[in-house]
Amino acid sequence: MCELDNVRLLVTKFADCYRFYKDILGFKVTWGDSRSGYVSFEAGKGKEFAIFDRHAMAEAVGTTVLPTAVQAQDRFALIFRVEEELEQMVIRLQSQNVDIASGVQDRPDWGIKAVHLRDPDGNLIEMFSELSKDKWHRDLLEEDKKFN
C-alpha cells in the first residue's frame, strides 16, 4: 500500500511562486528558500505541498527537450479551505496583483462558496468555505445522505 506524502507543483517561476505561497497566501515554509529550487509548505493538520523547479525535474526524468507549456484546460487545482471571509480575501489578493480567475460565487451544487485564482506560474487554486446545508442544492443533499 502507498501513502500520499505531498503534492509537488513543478514551476518555471520558482522565486515568484515561493513569494506567492509564503508571503501572499501565508503558508509556513517547512524546508527550503527562494533560491533552493525546492520548498515545502505546511498546509494545515499535518498536510504539506511543495514547489519544485520544473527544469530540475525535467532533467531528472529526461524531458528537457519537451516544451514547458502548452495551451490547454487546467489539469488540476489546489483546493484550500479558508476561515477568512472570501470577499475580504479577494480585496486583499487583488491589492497584491493576484490573478483572480473567477470572483466569489456561491456553489450550492458543490456545498461551498468559492473563489478561483492563479499563482504566478498559472496554476489554478480554489479557496472555499462551506455553505450551510440549508443553502445546498437538493441533489447534493440527497447525494450526501449516501456517505454520512
Structural domain range at position 54? 1-65
Per-residue model confidence as pLDDT tens digits over 59-83: 999 999 999 888 899 999 999 999 9
> Which of 51, 44, 65, 62 has the alpha carbon at shortest distance from 8?
51
Final residue belonging to a domain, choices 65, 83, 102:
65
Per-residue model confidence as pLDDT tens digits over 99-123: 999 999 999 999 999 999 999 999 9
Measured in degrees and rounded to the nearest 5, phi and psi for residue 86 equal -60, -40
Same-domain status, 59 and 5: yes
Give the separation between CA 115 and CA 4, rounded to whole angstroms. Answer: 26
Q: How many CA atoms lie within 13 A of 86 on its CB side?
A: 21
Give the separation between CA 45 and CA 33, rounded to whole angstroms. Answer: 22
CA distances from 83 to 5, 86, 91, 94 (A): 25, 8, 15, 18
- Which CATH number belongs to the domain containing residue 16 in this structure? 3.10.180.10
Same-domain status, 78 and 148: yes
Average pLDDT, the chain: 95
Same-domain status, 36 and 92: no
Total length of the chain: 148
- Which CATH number belongs to the domain containing residue 121 in this structure? 3.30.720.110
The predicted model scores a pTM of 0.92
Based on the structure, what is the number of domains in the chain?
Answer: 2
